[in-house]
Amino acid sequence: MNKYLTYAVLFALLGVANAARDFSNEEMAINTRHINAHNMGPSKWVAGENEFFRGKTLKDAKKLMGTLLEDKFLYAQPVKSFDHIKDEDIPDSFDARAQWPNFIHPIRNQERCGSCWAFAASEALSDRFAIASNGSINVVLSPEDLVSCDTGDMGCNGGILSQAWKYLSETGIVSDACFPYTAGNGQAAPCPAAGQCAAQGQTYKKYKSQDYYRLATVEDIQKAIMTNGPVEAGFEVYKSFMAYKSGVYSREWWQFWDELMGGHAIKIVGWGNQDGTDYWLIANSWGTDWGLDGFFKIKRGVNECQIESTVYAGHPLLA
């Protein structure tokens, strides 16, 4: 079967699955009763009302979960290991923001477009360019380029992490100044003509990843981050996650298929331990009013919400 037809079929099947657990237009993403009930019980995290979801229904919120979590057997991508680094040399905690000050770019906001897959990929590559070049290439790259021009993915309707990194490797993306993000209204802008910026007066240049690879173990994810910078990961979002405010997130024990919102992509920037619970430190793309000023922590080492199953990165092409 043609690979693009395969992708189309998979997205269609994902749509059928989503329809099977469709949410009411009336059911709001913020549920104060559920938040209060959660905070009354024993938990490693605190729930609260996040501005990003104020006024949104669950149906609105579900459209933002635009990542198709691929099957690692169907999408047999290269797997990279860091065997040259001993596991015992991995520090107990790590924060890329502290390790590389000024090279880890700020939290952004995907708004009303299911473009998380594009934000996390472009942000990880942006950070890695700054780190690899020691700051000489410190540029915010364009998620809009991926949303509008990557024909292997589905724009505001979603994307596949391996496909996004394939585009970064084979085609590359321009800077955010060259092609600013305008898809926040849910509609991707037309892809500019080759060699042209969407914004006038900007210099056209494509920034590429020289390769891309999947990271298959917790230790290799950690080694990749501490060596080269943040990575992109996809995970399953349950209703409770939208109310995350602080602490180390894990889904409620009673949340199953009917509570699943869809797949979401984010940027892992580090790890640590809080009150005896190992966690990943992660940058989201829902603005700074959500969670820990745009960041969150999620349980590490147990593949919580499949967070360790779909992880990608690549080395920036500096030449």
- Which positions are catalytic? 116, 264, 284
d(CA 69, CA 40): 33
d(CA 113, CA 109): 10
d(CA 111, CA 319): 34
Residue 172 · residue 208 · CB < 8 Å = yes
d(CA 275, CA 98): 21
Burial of 256 (0-12, 13-18, 19+ CB in 10 A): exposed
Reduce the DSSP state of residue 57 to 3 states and report it. Answer: strand
For residue 95 the two structure tokens come to 């924060």
d(CA 53, CA 302): 28
**Among candidate residues 123, 167, 162, the one with its CA nearest the CA of residue 148:** 167
Q: Which amino acid is at 117?
A: W
CA separation, residue 53 to residues 16, 112, 248 (Å): 24, 10, 20
Helices 161-170 and 116-132, interaxial angle, to 10°?
50
Helices 116-132 and 218-228, interaxial angle, to 10°?
50
